[in-house]
Chains A and B, each alone.
Chain A
Amino acid sequence: MPRIKKNEPENIRRSKSVWKAVYLVLIVLAAGTAWIQLKPDTRVVRQSQRQYWASVAVSASRGEIKDRNGIPLAVSVPATSFFIDPKYWDPKSADLLSKPFGKNIAKKFSKDLPGRFYWVVRNVPKEKADSFLEKEIPGLYTISERIRVYPHGELASHVLGYCDIDDYGQAGVELAWNHILFSPPRTRFMTRDSKGKTLDTMGGKSGVLKNTSGSIRLTIDSRIQQIVEWRLSEGAKAAKASWGAGVCVDPNTGEVLALASYPSLDPNDRNNLKDQNAVRNNAVGRVFEPGSIFKPITMSIAVETAAANKNSAYNCRGTMKLADKTISDVNKKAHGIQDLMHVLMNSCNIGMAIMSMGVPRHQAYGMLKQFGFGEKTEIELAGEESGLIKSPEEWIGTVPANIFIGQGIAVTPLQAVMAIGSIANGGSLLKPYLIAEVQDSDGKVIHKGGRRARYQVMSSKTAEFMRTAMNRVVSEGGGKLAFTEKVSIAGKTGTAQIASGGEYRKGHYVASFVGFWPSEKPRYVMIISLGEPQGARYYGGQIAAPIFKAIVEDIVQVSPPEKDLMKTELN
């Protein structure tokens, strides 16, 4: 039986058309919604991000600096920085800032401020910041940053240097290798809640910030560095010296094993950076007249230029008139007739002055330049000085004699130690280097330090003679206080006067000792310099040589002499 249905009136039929239209509108709306969802207008996206997201620049981790054995010497650790957005900040809350950050900061934020951003305090250690964060003060926000720390405090502070508040290198390796270590600050997206509070939730839009900084491995051995720093500091304090420097280098490769400067500083405390005397790196940034430690170099120049040989003899009467001045030995002591070796052993000024007369000045000047004086060693460290050397035209009167006894020329401790290193290694002047390896952020090695010879400054025969002579300086001559039975040391003492206003003043000296060990097969060459000692003793042989000896004995403890001294070939 067919279903009977009411006959639809005309107006009901019309309503179907309305429904169709409604469906159509719904379809259009749904399609529009889908279109907006899938491909939103960029202006709308930007506007919404401005409302719900905040972009904040944050510093990334700075690259690590390690010693030759992989011990980290400079690392970046998380820290928290606080800032205020005056739009949401209530000045009445300023009192809450006084306890953790000080009264001055609280006072600064106790009034209405224009703008939208003010730093309150930067790089607060995480533990301290976390305890304060629990209070949740409206308008006070935080940003996670990185702070540079030097875990060993004063250790190698002059090598490492330091950074400013934005993690930018300001001195030392930090400055010289800033382009490797520094990772530029990146923008971090943070969510903003209804009150405008930024939440450091590492939103999906931000992701994990990739670290683009590289890392550096130094040639420094932190144990040797520590020994040199301790002993230098002890010795300088005992001698009441105003400054000191110690540099230890491998004479066969040019690797800098330790580089110390006194007074030292702890770069973790920024207040220490106000002391300019402590900030200065005396090992590379201070020039001084070397005094008698220069004699092995000038003597080797005389031998190389055939102005002197092993059989040459010099008569020392204690004083000698030269041009318009008088050159004398310590206490005007006459050494009598002496050969080349005894001139060095007695540190005879007269012998060296006579020797200087036979050396052509242009040749001597050229050889001194070859030894690296008057120009930078090009060590990978900021703040290096080049020293001073007079041009050959100025070598008149007593100038050559003065230069041959180590006066009238200014050198840095690093230059002096590298020049003596050439005697230790058989005659090659090497470039010193501090950087063993540089890696990029992916761990790929992009730079490797290595042995670089600058000049062959003397023959191996001359170097061997000088090594023997310097060994006798320690065992029989003026460097006896550096003698130890633990290892054979070769070296030279030096006490230089300091010139001021064109004249040498009494009571102002630089006491030094430079040497190497084991003398048969040198593995280390080192210089110790103490500036302006105020104590009763001021000679290099009295105050610098004992420091040198103490350092050598300590290094022998951690790195005994090579066993191959006792080896012999199997016949």
Chain B
Amino acid sequence: MQYTECRHENEKPHSSLFVICFLSVFICAAALGTLRLYGLYLEHRISETAGRIEACRESNLDMSKKYSELLSPARIYSYAREELGMVNAEDIRTIKVDNSDIMVAQAVVYPMEEKTGFLDYINPFVRKAHAKN
């Protein structure tokens, strides 16, 4: 058997480059596959969410139908009459009052005084009261 001196110092850069290239390609392909899978997962989530939105919308439509049925004048009338025993008010009368004879008190709204003093200006509660008014 013949043995010679190892020359791997010269060969090593070549084989490493191949390995690195292979690994890079493999990692890229794996990453791409992962991304694709993640994309599918996200698509599934979107699909699920869209389904839930659609279900809520359908439920909302059903409820709006039930709500409008509850507001039906016929239903309210029959409920008031049969369940609550309500009857028509018979004492409604229109009374025409001569304008010249009667005075009816009316609420008078006085304009709010403008606060202009320095203390009023810096007092936050006063400002709040203004806002409320």
Which A residues have a C-beta under 8 Å from some C-beta of B?
2-7, 19-20, 23, 26-27, 30, 33-34, 37, 61, 64, 71-73, 75-78, 126, 144, 146, 149, 151-153, 155, 201-204, 206-208, 222-223, 225-227, 485-488, 518, 520, 553-554, 556-557, 560-561, 565-571
Contacts and interface: CB of A to CB of B under 8 A. Distances in A.
Given A152-B68, A155-B74, A23 B22 contact: yes
B6 A207 contact: no
A518 B68 contact: no
A17 to B, nearest CB: 11
A275 B103 CA distance: 59
Contacts of A569: 99
B32 interface: yes
Contacts of A61: 61
B126 interface: no
Contacts of B92: 486, 556-557, 560
A152 B69 contact: yes
Given A155-B74, A204-B44, A5 B8 contact: yes
Contacts of A223: 73
Given A4-B6, A26-B25, A207 B89 contact: no
A150 to B, nearest CB: 9
Contact of A486 (B8, B26, B43, B93): B93
A107 B133 CA distance: 76
B127 interface: no
B12 interface: no
Contacts of B32: 33-34, 37
B109 interface: no
A260 to B, nearest CB: 13
Nearest to A517: B94
A223 B72 CA distance: 8
A34 B69 contact: no
Interface string B59-74: 0011011011101111
A72 B88 contact: no
B110 interface: no
Contacts of A554: 88
Contacts of B57: 208
A72 B67 CA distance: 9
Interface string B95-129: 11101001111100000000000000000000000
A203 to B, nearest CB: 5
B16 interface: no
Given A77-B61, A201-B47, A565-B97, 16 more contacts: A2-B5, A2-B6, A27-B25, A34-B28, A73-B68, A75-B65, A126-B58, A152-B69, A152-B74, A201-B51, A226-B77, A486-B92, A486-B93, A560-B92, A570-B105, A570-B106
Nearest to B33: A37
Contacts of B103: 568, 570-571
A6 B1 contact: yes
Nearest 8 interchain pairs by C-beta: A72-B68, A204-B43, A226-B73, A151-B68, A78-B58, A5-B6, A204-B46, A4-B3
A202 B69 contact: no
A149 B65 CA distance: 8
B75 to A, nearest CB: 8
Given A4-B6, A78-B62, A151 B54 contact: no
Nearest to B44: A204
B104 A518 contact: no
Contacts, number: 146
Nearest to A226: B73
Nearest to B66: A151
B130 interface: no
B94 A71 contact: no
Contacts of A64: 64
B24 to A, nearest CB: 9
Contacts of B68: 71-73, 75, 151-152
A518 B94 CA distance: 9
B50 A207 contact: yes
B93 A485 contact: yes
Contacts of A37: 32, 36
Contacts of B54: 202, 208
B97 A202 contact: no
B72 A20 contact: no
Contact of B61 (A75, A153, A553, A568): A75
B46 to A, nearest CB: 4
Nearest to A209: B54
Contacts of A19: 18
Contacts of B1: 6
A75 B6 contact: no
B10 interface: no
Contact of A568 (B26, B74, B77, B99): B99
A3 B73 CA distance: 103
Nearest to B67: A72
A202 B47 contact: yes
Contacts of B43: 203-204
A207 B49 CA distance: 9
Given A23-B22, A75-B68, A202 B51 contact: yes
A20 B29 contact: no
Contact of B64 (A6, A72, A485): A72
Given A149-B65, A206-B50, A4 B5 contact: yes
B97 A566 contact: yes
A27 B61 contact: no
Nearest to B99: A568
A518 B106 CA distance: 24
Nearest to B42: A204
A381 B1 CA distance: 108
Q: Which of A23, A77, A204, A206 has the most CB of B within 10 A?
A: A204
Contact of A78 (B61, B88, B96): B61
Contacts of B36: 37
B53 A568 contact: no
Contacts of A126: 58, 62
Contact of B74 (A5, A6, A226): A226
Contacts of A153: 74
Contacts of A146: 61
A568 B57 CA distance: 53
Given A30-B25, A77-B65, A565 B99 contact: no
A126 B66 CA distance: 14
Contact of B50 (A202, A222, A225, A565): A202
